[in-house]
Structure 1
Amino acid sequence: MGDSDWTLIIESAKEVAGTYATPLSLNDCELSYVQIDERGTSVTMGFETPVLPSSPPPAWAHKSYNAVGFYVKFTRVKELRITGWDSSVREASVNLSSRDDGSLRVSVEAEGAHLDFVGSAPLLTRAHPFLRAQD
């Protein structure tokens, strides 16, 4: 499944997806956050994008923003593999693929870095608008 289809396999993302006229690709987003929780066997990934929704949620109506951020949490993580990862990884290619057992293979590739795992029950935990500093 391509990265632009991510909202089809992350049920809770459909509400955010409905605010965009065209599908929001994960590869149009910057990877801003990765948290690996070994106790809860979860991985939470944060993304930021300057692509703004064409029909923003009513709660965002009176806010000033030029970017949108959101977090996706994967639970029951197994087969976790990390190579060459550091805090500078932001531009990454993200691929989600469904497996026969209902889980997802998540693969993140960046220059000199790779993150790969199998997870279940992905959940969009938060979506929020914000003002991003201009370069």
Structure 2
Amino acid sequence: MQNIVILAGNVGATPETRTTQGNTKIAIFSLATSRPKFDSDGKIAKDGEGRRMEETEWHRITCFGALAKTVEKYVEKGQKLLIEGRIHYTKWTDQQDVERYGVEIIAEKVTFLTRGKSQQGTNGAADEPEGEDVPF
């Protein structure tokens, strides 16, 4: 069995990046995914104005190495991305001696579904992704 995750969503904030002591680049960002909300009859729920209601979930995405460098350079808040990777669970004990748990997606591939706002008006400069669906 394999641990495989595929998410398509919107970037919630500009990625945070850092470099480890071993000189490995790490980029972390949030990704919002949405799905329709259903009522008790199993039908898509609608608000008072007849618009479809959605449930949004936030995912913590972590990238390493060359992928982190690409994310740092090209990913912006609001951009639509497709993330392929794996789920990683962590467990730690906080300062009050309480066990805490966390979950993140370790990205292995990022596909740009839209360009970042700062790149939308450019005409394919040499250091940009060449298309809207460029995997890195």
Tell me the TM-score normalised to structure 1 length: 0.37
Give the structure with the higher percent helix: 1
Q: Rg larger in 1 or in 2?
A: 2
